[in-house]
């Protein structure tokens, strides 16, 4: 585990002052690798907070480019980067704040074969995508590799977040709650709209859950789905259990 130098001790001093994190916890963050799928509304605050908090390596995956309509909520980007790959834009923003973080920016779609490679090399995975197909592919890769997944979603004024951690054989995975074969209505912010701060709230919470997992702090959201109604600014919590017949983490898993 790398030892912090004087500059790092100063930069991360507010973490070091926290008894739950301290020097050892911060050094665990510095030695960690987080994989972030999506560098848009959720991925922006996720990537920025993981970078500023000192997660040593970040891999950012996004196939899209920055568009003017993104700037209402995707805070990792700016007007001068319209047309640039989102992953590259987010990497530049992180580098301007904390150049010590190693950021790998990949302009790729997160298909199953690539996810198997990326997830295996990560300590925690954050799903900041915007469609069920990608979420299921990310979840399956995490279950296969035994890596914790922090998943968030936001549309309109409604957001949700949970941690899916199947390590130990007790926790549910994403497919336990949203079965791959079920018919869920796919909505996009391009047609439904999204309240700008909502992605910041959910994305920041995703970053917090990932940092807790990496530093070994507190209790994660595993087994709980937290839902936010931003109109009333009300959180509701639903307990979720592992499903024995789940096609991904159940007793007879199958490729989805």
Identify the DSSP state of 100: T
d(CA 23, CA 82): 39
Helical (H) or strand (E) element with 10: helix 6-11
d(CA 73, CA 156): 12
- Residue pair 103/91 in contact (Cβ under 8 Å)? The answer is yes
Helical (H) or strand (E) element with 47: helix 43-53
For 42, 51, 59, the CA distances from 118, given in Å and listed in that order, are 19, 18, 8
The catalytic residue positions are 189
């Amino acid at each position: 585990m790398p030892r912090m130098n004087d500059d790092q001790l100063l930069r991360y001093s507010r973490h070091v002052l926290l008894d739950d994190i301290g020097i050892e916890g911060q050094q665990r963050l510095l030695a960690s690798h987080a994989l972030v799928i999506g560098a848009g509304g959720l991925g922006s605050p996720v990537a920025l907070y993981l970078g500023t908090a000192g997660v040593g390596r970040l891999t950012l995956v996004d196939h899209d480019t920055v568009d003017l309509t993104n700037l209402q909520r995707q805070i990792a980007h700016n007007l001068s980067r319209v047309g640039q790959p989102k992953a590259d834009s987010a990497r530049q923003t992180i580098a301007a704040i904390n150049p010590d973080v190693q950021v790998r920016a990949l302009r790729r779609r997160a298909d199953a074969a690539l996810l198997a490679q990326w997830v295996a090399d990560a300590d925690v995975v954050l799903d900041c995508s915007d469609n069920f197909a990608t979420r299921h592919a990310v979840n399956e890769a995490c279950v296969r590799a035994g890596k914790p997944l922090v998943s968030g979603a936001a549309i309109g004024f409604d957001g949700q977040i949970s941690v899916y951690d199947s390590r130990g054989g007790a926790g549910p995975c994403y497919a336990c709650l949203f079965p791959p074969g079920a018919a869920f209505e796919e909505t996009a912010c391009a047609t439904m709209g999204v309240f700008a701060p909502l992605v910041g709230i959910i994305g920041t919470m995703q970053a917090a859950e990932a940092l807790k997992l990496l530093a070994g702090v507190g209790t994660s959201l595993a087994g709980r789905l937290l839902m936010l109604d931003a109109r009333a600014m009300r959180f509701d919590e639903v307990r979720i259990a592992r499903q024995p017949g789940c096609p991904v983490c159940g007793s007879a898993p199958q490729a989805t």
